[in-house]
Amino acid sequence: MKKFWYFDLIYKYIKTDSKAYPYYIIHVSLVTAKALEISTRLNLSEESRQFIEEATMLHDIGVCEVEDEDLGTHGKEYITHGVSGAEILRKEGLPKHAKVAENHTGVGLYKDQIIKNNLPLPHKDFIPETIEERIISYADLFYSKNPEKLWQEKSLAEVRKWVEKFGQKYSDILEEWIKEFEV
């Protein structure tokens, strides 16, 4: 896998002088560090770790197209940032990275929940499938882009409490990930 300088894409879509940039770069850096720690502990290949680094640094690129006062961005509802990010990354020739952006929300989003909650997303499942996608999604659960909590890693109890709000199916997935990643 050819390595590329992902900061070029970050700078292209999230300007360094924007209000969003510090929140974005801190968040993705912390999530990347956690994801790489997990991938190293699991002894994943160098290629997998490289992909995890790149995809994690880009997983939230779609925030540039959403409405968020804290980030100073304008556009669609925040929940659409994964789909928007996937469109950006596909346009940039990164389909594998795009899948991470599209599927990284929580432990995944299922079509039935999208319809039930009338979310502005395509009616399909958005589920992390590969180990790399699951690691990135799991690591993302521990960090917020909320300005007051930006640097704070959530405890496993806090992550569990947040995920359980979405139902047993989601809690069960989280518990599987904990067994897989917290060895």
pTM above the 0.85 mark? yes
In a domain, 12, yes or no: no
The pair of three-digit structure tokens given for residue 65, joined into one six-digit string? 């197209």
Confidence at residue 83, expressed as pLDDT on a 0 to 100 scale: 97
State the CATH number of the domain containing residue 134: 1.10.3210
- pLDDT digits 0-9 by tens, 22-47: 999 999 999 999 999 999 999 999 99
Residue type (1 letter), 66: V
- pLDDT digits 0-9 by tens, 51-88: 999 999 999 999 999 887 877 788 898 899 999 999 99
In a domain, 76, yes or no: yes
Domain limits at 92? Answer: 19-181
In a domain, 111, yes or no: yes
- pLDDT digits 0-9 by tens, 96-151: 999 999 999 999 999 999 999 999 999 999 999 999 999 999 999 999 888 888 89
In a domain, 129, yes or no: yes
In a domain, 163, yes or no: yes
- pLDDT digits 0-9 by tens, 145-181: 888 888 999 999 999 999 999 999 999 999 999 999 9
3-state secondary structure the chain: CCCCCCHHHHHHHCCCCCCHHHHHHHHHHHHHHHHHHHHHHCCCCHHHHHHHHHHHHHCCHHHHHECECCCCECCECHHHHHHHHHHHHHHCCCHHHHHHHHHCCECEECHHHHHHCCCCCCCCCECCCCHHHHHHHHHHCCCCCCCCCCCCCCCHHHHHHHHHCCCHHHHHHHHHHHHHHCC
Confidence at residue 116, expressed as pLDDT on a 0 to 100 scale: 94
Confidence at residue 1, expressed as pLDDT on a 0 to 100 scale: 67
In a domain, 8, yes or no: no
What total number of domains does the chain contain?
1
Cα gap 117→51, rounded to integer Å: 33
Contacts of 85 (CB under 8 A, 6+ apart): 58, 59, 60, 61, 62, 63, 98, 101, 102
Confidence at residue 3, expressed as pLDDT on a 0 to 100 scale: 78
